[in-house]
Structures are given as structure tokens and as C-alpha cells.
Amino acid sequence: MEYAPPAIPNPYSLLSQLPPEAGWSTCLDLRDTFFCIRLATQSQSLFAFEWTDPDTGQQLQLTWTRLPQGFKNSPTLFGEAPASDLATFPREEYRCTLLQYMDDLLLACATETKCQTATQALLSYLAETGYRVSWKKAQLYRKQVQYLGFVISKGQRALSTERKKVITSLPRPTNRRALREFLGAAGFCRIRIPGFSAIAWPLYEALTGQEKSPMLWTEDKEHAFQQLKSSFGQDPALGLPDAERPFHLFVHERDKIALGLLAQTVGPWLCPITYFSKKLDPVATGLLAKNFYISRLSALCKPIRERCLACAKNNPKSGPSPIPGIQRSGTTRFVDLEVDFTDMTNCRGTKYLLILVCTYSGWVEAFHNRTEKSCEVAKVPLREIIPCYGIPLSLHSDNGPAFIAELLQTVTRAMGINWRLHTAYRPQSSGKLNA
């Protein structure tokens, strides 16, 4: 008899059938499933065996009437039998979604009432077809259930705590077999880890070589091993795909590794559905250069990159630096001021001097203060500068505590003053003040 491998569905493909609006679920585990499937009468003779009665010593010939556990095709037949029986369950009548993975069943509905009604109907249906359910493992009418190592809730699926503990508790591999076991356990959850292939690539390189030869464990492999384990502590709750909403696919290539993110809009935010990462082979790496040629590609990409807001906020500014020795200057008196504190001899409790310099005229205003706080800085423009010269357009200072305080920044923003900060003790930034 030829071996028929079982047709086991992909858990991620199976869970993608859950509708996002399903907020109540029931999880059932079939009990003694092999013994619930009857053998056809013409097939029972194939499983005949001899049995000796321990009391009389008489040898008897018996046969299996149920699916035997030792038969090599039992898992295949078992996977097909419940699927065939559950195909006739009226899902549309009860407005539910029923998933089956071997002997694990998941029933999902939109409301608690529908979930209770559908669960009772499913239990009655299983009893009529000859199946039994484990009461200890049953999870009935819940907003959150554990199924196939995942925590399923409305519109989300996350790794269970038990599965995370199993992976994070694995010791550092000492041979290639142990390393394959770790990569197999971690690779099952690769769609939940951004850039999995890029992180795990040093570990895959360690699998090359003879099986029994010593495995060289370097610092980069240890870093990849620890980074993968720590990634499970930051496991995101992925959303369930909704076919009625548009999908957003973000792709990127780094170090010959293809990276991708599939997401959907949920309210004002993008909810990740799955992460993708794969090492490109030499054929895929050279495909673009072999079949396509874009003239002046860098020149075409440069204006697009320059208009990118994210790049402008995070990347360092490029271009020629200003000529040293040339200081900025306001267009008229007291529209552009430089501000800084300096120490003075203690006189009647005042030992700080707040200096303001007009960059247009070079006029200096100095005010003594008891403290070097932001409230002292805010009082001077309000009481001394604005009544005499009007509201300045911009103020310049270093990034000292008195100048970056929230109080001072709030006051200047309310008056429409642009407060610019620069590096302390740098004459090129505040030359007029230091002069």
C-alpha cells in the first residue's frame, strides 16, 4: 500500500478566512478522533491480527472496526473524514465561520448570541456524526481564544504566551541540528518579524558544511540569535485581512534581501497584515539589470528624494555649507536678536546678566537677574524689548536649559516669534553676541 501524505493546510492561510468583524469565538478539540472513524466492512480484513486470551491462553483472530493509530495513512484519512463531514454543516444558516485543522475546530461569529446558537448546533451536529469533544479543552463563547498557538480576537491574531516561551527558552545551539530546530521554530513565525531574513541570515550561513564538523559560532551569529529571541517579546498583533478594503504593499530591498509589508487602513492608521522577507538568489538579483535599463536614473530619482518629507526630517542636510565668517543680519532694527546669559560679580543677590544684541545695528541691551531660569528670559522681552522696539521676528540662542524650556517656547510661539537654537560655545553661530 502506497503512503499518502496528509494534506495539512497552512495555518496562516487558514486564519486568513476569519472575517474581521467576528468578535466571538468557540474553540473545540475532538477527542479520540481515530476511533470515531469507522472502517468499511470490506477493509476490516486488512487489519486483522491475533490476540491471546490471558485467562484461557486461546488464540483469537480479531480485526479493527475503527481507524487504527498504527496505520501509516491514518493521519491522511483522519484529515479528510472530518473535513468531509463538516462540509455539510449549515454555516450560512447560523452566519458563522468554521475552520478545521486536523482535530482542532474554530467557530467564529459576529455577536455573542449568534456564537452561542451556532456552538450548540455544532455540538449537536458532531454528536450525530459520531465525534466526541474534549470538555476540558473547550473554549466556549469567548472574545479571545487560543487556536493553533495564536491568540485570536476581533480583527487580530497574536502569538500565544506559551509559544513565545518555548522559542525564547531555547538554549544557544551547539550543533547544526539544534540550529535547524531553532530556525524552524522561529521561521514558523517569520511573517510576524520585520526583516526576518536579514536578521537570521548569519544563522543560515552557519548551516553550511558537513553535518558532524564543528560549527563556528561567531559574534554576528550570537547577535542574530539574541535579536531573533528578543523579537518575540516585541511581537505585533497582526490584523486579519479584509477583502472588502484596499491593501497597501510596501516593498524595499537591502543587502540583496527583499523586504515587504502588507497593510490595510483601519480608521486613520495603517494596520500591518503580514511581513515578508526573503534572500534574493543570484538570478533574481541580476534580473533588473539584465532586462531593464533606465537612462539617467539617479537624476530622475534626485528630485523625488528631495521632495520627500520623511527624508527631509530625518536625513542630514546636503549641499554647500555657508561661507565661514559671514554672519546673518536682520533687515531693520530689533527684528532679529541674539540672546545669552553671562556671569557677573554677585551684587545684592544678582549674579547673572542677560544680554540681547541686535544683529542689524549691533545695539546691546543687558539686564541683571537673580536666577538663570526661563521665566527671567520671558520677562525681559515682554517688559523691556517689546514696549520699546516692538515684537521681534526671530530670536537666537544656544540650547541651554533656560532657552529650551516649554514655558519660554510656548510664550514665543504665542507671539509669533521664531526662536532658533544653535550649539553652545560656537562663535560661528552667535558671532555678534560673543564679540
pLDDT tens for each residue of 140-157: 988 888 888 888 888 888
* pLDDT confidence bin for 361, thresholds 50/70/90: confident
Q: Is 385 exposed, middle or buried (0-12, 13-18, 19+ CB in 10 A)?
A: buried
pLDDT of res. 207: 83
Length of the chain: 435
CATH number listed for the domain at residues 11-154: 3.30.70.270
Count CB neighbours of 138 within 10 A. Answer: 14
Q: What count of other Cβ atoms lies within 10 Å of the Cβ of residue 222?
A: 13
> pLDDT tens-digit profile of 222-250?
888 888 888 877 767 788 888 888 889 99
Residue scoring higher pLDDT (312 or 175):
175
Q: Which three cell numbers stand for residue 107?
A: 467557530
**3-class DSSP string for 132-200:** EECCCCCEEEECCEEECCEEEECCEEEECHHHHHHHHCCCCCCCHHHHHHHHHHHHCCHHHCCCHHHHH
- Pairing state between β 48-52 and 59-63: antiparallel
**Of residues 180, 168, 115, 163, the one with CA closest to residue 142:** 115
Write down the pLDDT at residue 433.
Answer: 61
Average pLDDT in the 72-85 region? 74
In this predicted structure, what is the pLDDT of residue 31? 81
CA 176 to CA 214: how far, in whole Å?
A: 9
Q: Which residues pair with 31 in a beta bridge?
A: 132
| 428 pLDDT above the threshold of 70 | no
Residue 83 confidence class, pLDDT cut points 50, 70, 90? confident
Q: Is the pLDDT of residue 108 over 80?
A: yes
Q: Is 212 helix (H, G, I), strand (E, B) or coil?
A: coil
Q: Does the structure show a pLDDT above 60 at 331?
A: yes
Average pLDDT over residues 259-272: 85
Residues 98, 89 contacting (CB under 8 angstroms): yes
Residue 115 has pLDDT above 60, yes or no: yes
Residue type, 79: G
- Report in angstroms the alpha-carbon separations of 270 from 190, 239, 261, 262, 267: 20, 10, 11, 10, 8
Between 358 and 74, the more confident residue is 358
* pLDDT for position 11: 79
Neighbours of 396 (CB within 10 A): 22
- Look at the domain 159-239 and name its fold: Alpha-Beta Plaits (3.30.70)
The pairs formed by 276-279 with CB atoms below 8 angstroms and a separation of 24 or more are 276/191, 277/190, 277/194, 277/195, 277/196, 277/197, 277/198, 278/197, 279/197, 279/201, 279/204
Q: Pinpoint the alpha helices (H) of 260-373.
A: 282-285, 287-291, 297-306, 309-314
| 231 or 121: which leads in pLDDT | 121
Lowest mean pLDDT among 255-259, 403-407, 424-428: 424-428
What architecture is the 336-434 domain classified under in CATH?
Answer: 2-Layer Sandwich (3.30)
Look at residues 25, 26, 22 and name the one whose alpha carbon lies nearest to residue 138: 26
pLDDT of residue 434: 59
pLDDT at res. 4? 57
Which pLDDT does position 174 carry in this prediction?
A: 85
**Integer Cα distance of 27 and 244 in angstroms:** 26
The x, y and z cell numbers of residue 217, run together, are 559560532
Q: Which whole number is the average pLDDT over 327-342?
A: 83
Answer whether 102's CB lies under 8 Å from 81's CB: no
Phi-psi region of 266 (alpha: psi -120 to 50; beta: other; left: phi over 0): beta
User: What's the rounded mean pLDDT across residues 263-276?
Assistant: 84
C-alpha cell at 41: 466492512
What is the overall mean pLDDT for the chain? 82
Mean pLDDT of 51-77: 76
| Domain 159-239 shares a fold with domain 247-291 | no
Picking from 394, 392, 411, the residue whose alpha carbon sits closest to that of residue 402 is 411
Please report the pLDDT score of residue 7 as a whole number: 67
State the cell numbers at 376: 527671567
CATH topology of domain 247-291: Ubiquitin-like (UB roll) (3.10.20)
Secondary structure E strands in 267-402: 269-279, 336-347, 350-358, 364-369, 394-398
- How many percent of the chain have pLDDT more than 90? 3
Per-domain boundaries in the chain? 11-154, 159-239, 247-291, 336-434
Q: Which residues pair with 29 in a beta bridge?
A: 104
pLDDT score recorded for residue 5:
59
Half-sphere exposure of 144 (CA within 13 A, CB side): 8
pLDDT at residue 333 is higher than 80: yes
- The contacts of residue 363 (CB under 8 Å, 6+ apart) are 333, 334, 357
How are beta strands 394-398 and 336-347 bridged, if at all? parallel
First to last CA, the chain: 97
Please give the average per-residue pLDDT across 101-125, as a whole number.
89
Residue 177 has a pLDDT of 87
